[in-house]
Amino acid sequence: MTREATRYRWVVLAVGAVAQGTNAAVFLGLPAITPQLRDHFGLSLPQVGLLLGAVNLGTMLTLVLWGAAADRRGERLVMTTGGVGAALCLALAAFDGAVVAGVALVGVGLFGASVNAAGGRAVLTWFPPDRRGLAMGIRQTATPLGAALAAVVLPVVAVGAGVPAVFLALAGSTGFVAVAVALWVREPPWAVRSRRGHGVVLSDPALIRLSAASGLLVVPQFTAAALMVELLHDHRGVAVGVAAGLFAAAQIMGGLGRLVVGVWSDRLPDRVRPLKVLSVLVAVGFALCAALDRAPVELLAAALVPTAALALCWNGVAVTAAGELAPPGRTGTALGMQNTANYLSATVTPPLAGWVAVTLGWPAALLLAAVAAVASRLLLTVPFPARELAPELP
């Protein structure tokens, strides 16, 4: 790899990370204004869970399509088109009631899915195998950091200017990132494009199993993301600003954890090993939080914040593992498949966890997250193909 290419790959990573963080400000940041969304639209907790899940529903429906498009046309066209479409849908969400907002947020997901599949393909193409864990960890760290920034800023905007202003602010930032992608993202000379054979990727048993395990790990991640503020504020009486701050702290800790896990995976022949360890830790953490439901709120928060952070740590290494299972030229499709399982869980989890919390109690919702982590660990028991560590790209 030339010195110029070595430098430029960090530009691609930086733009991709900003795009990822901006996308996360929508699908992970909006839960920070759950109380304001409930008041603005007049919704119950399960209903606001459906609204928050709308972005994930739209994303789930188009991830494989965007990934295949990136394999055929490259990341720049795919991410720019998707970013512009997502910005327009966010602007639409500001101008009417709950139904229109829900439909618009589905549209945000439909277009925003381009970032997940195409951005991941760019990182895996530009970086050699023994640096991908770190690079993908940096990119995926942008997700909790974007959510953390949104958790701090969005409640202030919602209280001061109203929920429509939140949607307009997110539309502006998303449009800005789309322009940055158009200006600064390009493929390396050695990138491989493919126009056929994507069905082979979608039927690969190892990739199917990894995708299912990832989807199960999303259940604890989104139980915390969608309900942590509500749990601390409405259930335990913590001030909404403090609850949002604790949510932001968990996002930051989880982001740093993604870097650590990424470096860890670069030193192993098997990227699945960190997923096995983290799934067990997440299960134990959520079970502990369920047991502490009626404990002093300081004790509950002390357990909940690191548990929510652990529930975020695994994502980057799972995405990297999925991309490395794909044959040349089909990385985007593989990432789209793996992310589809994630977003399916992300769509179902907020309303399901909200319903369980309202109907059966908060400990039951937390135990649901623990059970999903245990199921993920069981799926990871069967060995996966070992990856080969190449010293450097051409």
Residues 313, 137: Cα–Cα separation, whole Å? 9
**pLDDT-based confidence at residue 195 (cuts at 50, 70, 90):** low
Long-range contacts of 200-208 (CB under 8 A, 24+ apart): 200/327, 200/330, 201/326, 201/327, 201/330, 201/333, 201/334, 201/337, 202/64, 202/333, 202/337, 204/325, 206/325, 206/384, 206/385, 207/322, 207/325, 207/326, 207/334, 207/337, 207/338
Q: How high is the pLDDT of residue 79?
A: 95
The pLDDT of residue 388 is above 50? no
For tokens 């999303």, name the residue: 218
The pLDDT of residue 124 is above 70? yes
**Nearest residue to 221 via CA among 266, 251, 177, 191:** 251
**pLDDT-based confidence at residue 243 (cuts at 50, 70, 90):** confident
For tokens 């209903």, name the residue: 47
How confident is the model over 47-68, as a mean pLDDT? 87
**pLDDT-based confidence at residue 391 (cuts at 50, 70, 90):** very low
Residues 97, 185: Cα–Cα separation, whole Å? 37
**pLDDT-based confidence at residue 1 (cuts at 50, 70, 90):** low
**pLDDT-based confidence at residue 198 (cuts at 50, 70, 90):** low
The pLDDT of residue 36 is above 60? yes
The pLDDT of residue 196 is above 70? no
Q: How high is the pLDDT of residue 394?
A: 42
Higher pLDDT, 197 or 95: 95
**pLDDT-based confidence at residue 215 (cuts at 50, 70, 90):** very high
How confident is the model over 122-139, as a mean pLDDT? 88
pTM beyond 0.75: the answer is: yes
Q: How high is the pLDDT of residue 247?
A: 85
CB 139 within 8 A of CB 17: yes
The pLDDT of residue 118 is above 80? yes
Neighbours of 203 (CB within 10 A): 10
Average pLDDT, the chain: 88
CB 117 within 8 A of CB 66: yes
Measured in residues, the chain has a length of 394
Residues ≥6 apart with Cβ < 8 Å to 335: 63, 67, 116, 117, 120, 121, 124, 319, 322, 323, 326
Higher pLDDT, 200 or 68: 68
